[in-house]
Amino acid sequence: MSVKNRPPKNKERKISQPRLSKEKKLNHAKKVTQLTAKAESKDQDQEHKEAFKAPQGVAIGQEYKTPVVELIAKAEDQERRIDNFLISILPNIPKTNFYKLLRKGEIRANKKRIKADYKISQGDVIRIAPLILKNTLDKSIALKDIVKLNSVQVLKKNIVYEDAGLFIINKPAGIAVHGGSGVNYGVVEALRVLFPKEKRLELVHRIDKETSGLLMVARKPSVLKHLQEQFRNKTIYKSYLCLVPGIWKHARVEAPLLRYEKLGERFVKVDNQGKESITNFKLLQVYEDENGQKFSLVEASPLTGRTHQIRVHALHALAPLAGDEKYQDLIANSYFNKLGLHRMFLHAYKLNFVDPVSETRKEVEIPLDPELQKFLQSLTPIE
């Protein structure tokens, strides 16, 4: 018996689409209309916050379950990341809850699973599944107490640039940019209480808690988007001042960086599996202490924006930053401490960017932090 190879029949398989009854279609349209109306309402954000509050009768420390919340993204939310959007409208909810729900697919846009970096479009229907929360004291009350602290009041005085879309702040060392992970408050949380009429404050970028200096905070989503595009296109230029032991001899460090955890603490190391990372360095001045030990004041300009980039590139060059408790060794830090340095010597002193409001290139520069300046004055400049 002969077997002939016949071409397969190219029959299209018809997939029947589920049909909605007229009643279901009307209900769906009605629901979208209601959500859209809510989205345009000035009270929308307050309604969302109320939905996540503990019901009456739930004691402090007791757990409770939130309802399903659905909302429609407004025009001003266009292109915002979903995680930043949720954190901004619901600042009292721990952000770890949102990331957990996103990983599980329990926060959806238009009924589809999304990731934390999902960019919102106007009209997106965002659905937040129920959360199990613990009833705590209202964080807004706690923040009102927090902003009485001198370190937070300094933020208000340390606004070095301001226009209709942007704050640039000279952040003191020791204040985190965001609350969370054991930190009661950060720059953004404090600013939202200091300026209650500013409803859309968002960080444009980050600097480490231990670092002082310039930090950009957008006042509008459109400005945030514009500045973050500049960062992605590498058209914003940042420069830092740092102090390292010895005489610095490197003009550039190119070394890929990889994040990892050790005993629950986050670190970064040079690793071929890491992301491309480039930092330009410029020696500004060599100093000497009373014991003849030499130190270099260096300008560092990162061309990429990796976590701990300057700190780890300095370590890679065998000259970790003075006072860096994470990457400098204990003996060296003890020596710096005896000399009078009680923090990491890293200060973000210059920003060059295109202002989204005026569409002109601007440069903001601030002097070295007073504490670091005082330490330098205790050393003797040479060469």
Tens-digit pLDDT profile for the chain (383 aa)? Answer: 333 444 444 444 443 444 555 565 556 555 555 555 554 555 556 666 677 777 776 665 567 888 888 888 888 888 888 988 887 777 667 777 788 888 888 899 999 999 988 999 988 999 998 887 766 544 444 545 555 556 667 788 899 999 999 999 999 998 888 765 445 567 887 888 788 888 889 999 999 999 999 999 999 999 999 999 999 999 999 999 999 999 999 999 999 999 998 877 889 999 999 999 999 999 999 999 999 999 999 999 999 999 999 999 999 999 999 999 999 998 999 999 999 999 999 999 999 999 999 999 999 999 999 999 999 999 999 97
137-233 and 234-382: identical CATH topology: yes
Q: Three-class SS string for the chain? A: CCCCCCCCCCCCCCCCCCCCCHHHHHHHHHHHHHHHHHHHCCCHHHHHHHHCCCCCCCCCCCEEECCCEEEECCHHHCCCEHHHHHHHHCCCCCHHHHHHHHHHCCEEECCEECCCCCECCCCCEEEECCCEEECCCCHHHHHHHHCCCHHHHHHHHCEEEEECCEEEEEECCCCCCCCECCECCCHHHHHHHHCCCCCCCEECCCCCCCCEEEEEEECCHHHHHHHHHHHHCCCCEEEEEEEEECCCCCCEEECCEEEEEECCEEEEEECCCCECCEEEEEEEEEEECCCCCEEEEEEEEECCCCCCHHHHHHHHCCCCCCCCCCCCCHHHHHHHHHHCCCCCCEEEEEEEEECCCCCCEEEEECCCCHHHHHHHHCCEEEC
Instruction: Quote the CA–CA distance of 234 and 205 in Å, as a whole number.
Output: 13
- Nearest of 327, 322, 326 to residue 347 by alpha carbon: 322
Among 77, 83, 124, 208, the one annotated catalytic: 208
- Nearest of 258, 246, 316, 251 to residue 286 by alpha carbon: 246
Active-site residue 208, yes or no? Answer: yes
Question: Which CATH superfamily hosts domain 137-233?
Answer: Pseudouridine synthase (3.30.2350.10)
pLDDT of 8 reads 45
pLDDT of 185 reads 66
- Both tokens assigned to 225: 């988007």
Q: What is the CATH number of domain 61-136?
A: 3.10.290.10
Pick the CATH number of 234-382 from 3.20.20.80, 3.40.50.80, 3.90.440.10, 3.30.2350.10: 3.30.2350.10
Tokens 């049909």 map to which residue?
A: 19
pLDDT of 10 reads 45
pLDDT of 255 reads 98
Domain ranges of the chain: 61-136, 137-233, 234-382
pLDDT of 306 reads 95
